[in-house]
Structure 1
Amino acid sequence: MTAALEVRDLCKAYGGVRAVDGVGFSLGATERLALIGPNGAGKSTLFDMLSGQRRPDAGTIRLFGREVTGLPPRRIWRLGVGRTFQVTATFGSMTVIENVQTALISYHRRAWRPWSRADRLYRDEAWDLLDLVGMGDQAERACGMLAYGDLKRLELAVALANAPRLLLMDEPTAGMAPAERTRLMALTTEVAAARALAVLFTEHDMDVVFRHADRILVLDRGRLVAEGPPDAVRTDPAVRALYLGEEDGA
């Protein structure tokens, strides 16, 4: 089976600082892969290159067997990549369902067609996505009135509007209470399984990582220092030194 994502020797530098330095990995078609590391490790820069927001200095990115290195975000989005962000990217002045309809209108290329009322387009499809993430009962609420956990669920619905095969989630539980984190990641795992999605996510909460990742990548100062299933990464000396300050033999 073709991998959802293949990254080879990816590099990005800012002046003399190598934010991402020769990173390579693959992501299976239905795998949940966590990317962890301390602040400044290069996680967000790597995510931005994968989604087309930054162009790599070197290396290649293949999406479902197709090279996409350097393509702009709109092209990568249309190839089946959904993304959520550390800070929720929703329209506060719109209702919940209008936010999802807007994403669907773009996906179906209806944004520039006259004589159609936008609030009537893809309403049923938007409602289905909201029901999927448990937000159907809040469809008509103003987005600006939502609690933060509900905003994260709405953002997940928006990220699913382009029928993605790969979901990129940058710090999906940032700013959430522990119980909300658990619910959101359980929901993401359930949706990914139901839709056969590959998921790549960054996360600082190690409980979330070890509970929901099939495999973990550890990034430090732009380079991968460890990779493997959760149990192996948990006991890896390099990872323990990075997070706990432990030295080999300590």
Structure 2
Amino acid sequence: MTDTSPTLQVSGLSKSFGGVQAVGDVSFSVAAGELLALIGPNGAGKTTCFNMLMGQLRPDTGSIRLKGREITGLAPRRIWRLGVGRTFQITATFASMSVRENVQMALLSHHRRLLSLFADAGRHYVEEAMALLSLVGMEGQAGRACGVLAYGDLKRVELAVALANDPTLLLMDEPTAGMAPRERIALMELTAGIVKQRGISVLFTEHDMDVVFAHADRILVLNRGRLLAEGTPHQVRADPKVQETYLGSGSMFASEGH
């Protein structure tokens, strides 16, 4: 019997800072293999929501379930070990280490072999690391230090690192930030192909509306910490509330931050 339960189920999520509510009563789910975009104008609560999902922040109220398991308030490391990968708006690689070593580090952590870092760490999971680098088109630069890579290539390495724990859910915070338009398209096409092939669920924030509407299966729109709208790209584009919110800042497709 096919399991149709959502990969991620978020119910009534709220978080306040000093009396200011950053996220209020947000509920949504992410289906297996779905690419769900989370968008909104400045201060909408996107990053706060992401940080609660990954354990950097503890919600004031609400529930976060991964494949039916309650993960609300767990530490980031425990959530990662349960199969949640994450990429960041600013790439988080070790600049002095090689591309392959960065991926090996993630694999060592996934397999709970961090003690190996102090004893011939470079010998472990070489084939697995190269397979992941091949998947993202970076096997030819495996021996180069991350510190000398072009920014678009760093984003590909970060994607390989995020896939090292064989995630069922991938959280991507502004995956194309800082990239040229052609690089953005290539990275999102690559990501979409990988996650569809592997059945990985993806929740991503993104400032480039062309990327969002080209690749998202569904879109959530946050405004002032609350869920304003959700639906297919066509439904969200046509929603009067969304149009009003974005037209107030110039255009529905205007660049946005957090």
Superposition TM-score, scaled by structure 1 size: 0.97
Q: Distance in 2 between matches of 1:96 and 1:106?
A: 16
1:57-95 deviation line (CA, Å, top 9, x unaligned): 000000011111000001100110000001000000000
Tell me which residue corresponds to 1:94. 97
Q: Distance in 2 between matches of 1:53 and 1:114?
A: 25
Matches within 5 A, 1:27-176: 27-113=30-116, 116-176=119-179
Q: CA deviation at 1:245?
A: 2.5
Matched residue SS, 1:112: helix
The letter of the residue matching 1:44 is T
Q: Distance in 1 between matches of 2:233 and 2:173?
A: 19
Consecutive unaligned residues of structure 2, counting only runs of 5 or more, are 250-258
Q: CA deviation at 1:30?
A: 1.1
Q: Distance in 2 between matches of 1:95 and 1:196?
A: 29
The letter of the residue matching 1:181 is R
Matched residue SS, 2:177: coil
Q: Tell me the number of residue pairs that the alignment of Structure 1 and Structure 2 aligns.
A: 246
Q: Distance in 1 between matches of 2:118 and 2:104?
A: 17
Matched residue SS, 1:141: coil
The letter of the residue matching 1:230 is P
Q: Distance in 2 between matches of 1:52 and 1:131?
A: 30
Is 1:205 aligned to residue 208 of structure 2? yes
Q: Distance in 2 between matches of 1:116 and 1:175?
A: 36
Tell me which residue corresponds to 1:221. 224
Q: Distance in 2 between matches of 1:45 and 1:95?
A: 32
Percent identity (aligned): 67
Consecutive unaligned residues of structure 1, counting only runs of 5 or more, are none
The letter of the residue matching 1:152 is K
Q: CA deviation at 1:193?
A: 1.0
Q: Distance in 1 between matches of 2:66 and 2:5?
A: 9
The answer to whether the 8 A contact 2:108-2:116 is kept is no
Q: CA deviation at 1:113?
A: 4.6
Q: CA deviation at 1:242?
A: 1.1
Q: CA deviation at 1:116?
A: 4.0
The answer to whether the 8 A contact 2:217-2:233 is kept is yes
The letter of the residue matching 2:145 is A
The letter of the residue matching 2:170 is L
The letter of the residue matching 1:223 is R
The letter of the residue matching 1:106 is S
Matches within 5 A, 1:226-237: 226-237=229-240
Superposition TM-score, scaled by structure 2 size: 0.94
Q: 1:117 to 1:216 in 2, by over 3 A?
A: same
1:91-122 deviation line (CA, Å, top 9, x unaligned): 00000000000000111111125884101000
Q: Distance in 1 between matches of 2:164 and 2:51?
A: 20
Q: Distance in 1 between matches of 2:75 and 2:142?
A: 31
Q: 1:96 to 1:18 in 2, by over 3 A?
A: same
